[in-house]
């Protein structure tokens, strides 16, 4: 994943053409522990940057997943309903949550690069 951006809430977004793929970071899944359930957003729903979009439940806690960017949901990762543990196995690849069309691509510039996110994580210790 070359051009991935991150939020301080540990979501990631990868832009591929006009489509953005969103999930939670490796760090987030480590903090959650074993993921047991994921409530995905509805295809066709409009979401705002920073707005609630999904819920992830683990053996430790339930957490909101916020959309890092604004747009319309065009696809969800149905594999997560049957196999929520995909998030633990491959948080930043096969464990993606949803794909969306962006309404404001400039919002990506407000997010952290992978290098910035790594530095942010180091500051959390």
What is the Cα–Cα distance from 91 to 80, expressed in whole angstroms? Answer: 11
E strand spans, 27-111: 35-39, 46-47, 52-58, 62-66, 71-76, 98-102
| Contact present, 16 and 22 (Cβ < 8 Å) | no
The neighbouring-strand residues paired with 23 are 12
Could you state, in order of their start, the residue ranges of all structural domains in the chain?
4-104+114-122
Tens-place pLDDT, residues 34-80: 999 999 999 999 999 999 999 999 998 899 999 999 999 999 999 99
pTM of the model as a whole:
0.94
The topology under which CATH files domain 4-104+114-122 is OB fold (Dihydrolipoamide Acetyltransferase, E2P) (2.40.50)
What is the Cα–Cα distance from 49 to 71, expressed in whole angstroms? Answer: 8
């Amino acid at each position: 994943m070359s051009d991935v951006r991150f939020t301080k809430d540990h979501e990631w977004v990868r832009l591929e053409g006009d489509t953005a793929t969103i999930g939670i970071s490796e760090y987030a899944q480590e903090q959650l522990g074993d993921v047991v359930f994921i409530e995905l957003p509805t295809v066709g729903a409009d979401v705002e940057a920073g707005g609630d979009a999904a819920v992830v439940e683990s053996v430790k806690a339930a957490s909101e997943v916020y959309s890092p960017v604004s747009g319309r949901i065009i696809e969800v990762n149905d594999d997560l309903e049957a196999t929520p543990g995909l998030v633990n196995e491959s948080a930043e690849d096969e464990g993606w949550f949803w794909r969306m069309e962006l309404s404001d691509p400039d919002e990506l510039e407000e997010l952290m690069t992978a290098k910035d996110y790594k530095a942010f994580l180091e500051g959390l210790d």
